[in-house]
Amino acid sequence: MPELPEVETLARALRNSLIGRQIVRADVHWARAVITPSSSSAFADQVPGHRIRDVRRRGKWLMFALDGSKWLLIHLRMSGRLVVEEAEVPEDPHTRVLLHLDDGQQLRFSDPRKFGRMALVDDPEEILSGLGPDPLDPALTPRDLWEMLRGKRARLKPLLMDQRLLAGLGNIYADEALWEAGLHPLRRSDTLSEEEAERLHRAVRRVLEAAIARQGTTLPDRRYLLPDGRPGEFASHLAVYGREGKPCPRCGAEIVRVRLGGRSAHFCPRCQPE
DNA sequence: CAACCGACCTGTTCGC
DNA sequence: TGCGAACAGGTCGGTT
């Protein structure tokens, strides 16, 4: 579910409500949601007592900086959700981990599909070392991207979703960025001109920033919601994702969907020629 | 190295 | 209406 804009939105919202809060207790209802430490009871023993100093994001990972130089990292994968609620509010039946806070509220991680994971570590690199640069990092230049692409010979769509290249794009925003750049999802990465790579660089940033400005994409199933229950508003701005058979906003041609490595890719056959 | 597939899981939507 | 198949925003490991 959540890609970079959704995780960024969550990080910003949680930053406001959680900085300064102390975690007083942890209940793990689904042990496999915890990857580090390897025993979830050790996790439940070690988390309490820490105060939350900051909430950040790297790629699709949420990072809670705790005092005592510990980090709590959370990845929501497909169906994970985080909410902050008063203890009296009934628990979602899919709640996997519950963190009790010192103000009586609870940070709840719920996840129907049980794909989401969290870790308590001394050094975030233990978990994040394989990630590529953040696409919004100002240090990442169009030329950097061009060189990264030239060093591979994969098709653009799967490559944009490869977190080792860039950290944060998933199925929705990879499709949207390629449409914005006017590049075909099957285009081989080592055939781009420097100008095309620059267009892609600009497109990725523009799409991600626009989505963050609208607080992410909530699709009709409403699986992604802000911590206060409000939906993100970017769905109505999607050009291609989930719009098979509908007109391209730029040229009116019908949006096409193809299967690519087991996933759907959406594009405009006129604006994104092969 | 690149591409594909099944696993991991459950819930919802689709097609007959 | 009912029911199984297909599909879903992600990632990993194994195979071709």
Nucleotides of B under 7 A from a protein CB: 1-6, 8-13
Residues in CB range of A93: below 8 A, 6 or more apart? none
What is the rounded average pLDDT of the residues A142-169?
98
Residue A26 pLDDT more than 80? yes
**Cα A274 from Cα A183, distance rounded (Å):** 8
- Catalytic site residue A263? yes
Q: What is the pLDDT of residue A238?
A: 98
**Cα A41 from Cα A27, distance rounded (Å):** 9
Range in A42-46, A73-77, A95-99, A222-226 with the lowest mean pLDDT = A222-226
Residue A214 near residue A233 (C-beta atoms within 8 A): yes
Q: How far is CA A143 from the centre of its chain?
A: 24
Mean pLDDT of chain A: 97
Cβ of A130 near strand C (under 7 Å)? The reply is yes
pTM: 0.97
What residue has its CA nearest to the C1' of C12? A115
What is the rounded average pLDDT of the residues A87-99?
97
- From the number of C-beta atoms within 10 Å of its C-beta (0-12, 13-18, 19+), residue A202 rates as middle
* List of A residues 91-110 with CB within 7 A of strand B: 93-94
**Cα A175 from Cα A7, distance rounded (Å):** 18
Digit-coded pLDDT (tens) for A177-196 = 999 999 999 999 999 999 99
Cβ of A161 near strand C (under 7 Å)? The reply is yes
Distance between terminal CA atoms of chain A? 28
Residues in CB range of A39: below 8 A, 6 or more apart? none
> Of A143, A207, A201, nearest to A170 (Cα)?
A207
Residue A1 pLDDT more than 80? no
What is the rounded average pLDDT of the residues A18-43?
98
Residue A103 pLDDT more than 90? yes
Q: What is the pLDDT of residue A78?
A: 97
What is the rounded average pLDDT of the residues A42-60?
98
What is the rounded average pLDDT of the residues A220-242?
94
H/E element, A174? helix A171-181
Pairing relationship of beta strands A117-121 and A34-36 according to DSSP bridges: parallel
**Cα A20 from Cα A10, distance rounded (Å):** 17
Cβ of A186 near strand B (under 7 Å)? The reply is no
Q: Which listed residue (A21, A150, A188, A263) is catalytic?
A: A263
Q: Which listed residue (A57, A60, A187, A243) is catalytic?
A: A60
Residue A35 near residue A107 (C-beta atoms within 8 A): no
Q: Which nucleotide is nearest to A189 (CA to C1')?
A: B2
- From the number of C-beta atoms within 10 Å of its C-beta (0-12, 13-18, 19+), residue A252 rates as exposed
CA dihedral A142, A143, A145, A151 (to 10 degrees): 160
Cβ of A1 near strand C (under 7 Å)? The reply is yes
What residue has its CA nearest to the C1' of B10? A113
> What DSSP character marks residue A188?
B
- Catalytic site residue A3? yes
A194 is written with which tokens?
């420097």
**Cα A188 from Cα A119, distance rounded (Å):** 36
A64 is written with which tokens?
């809670």
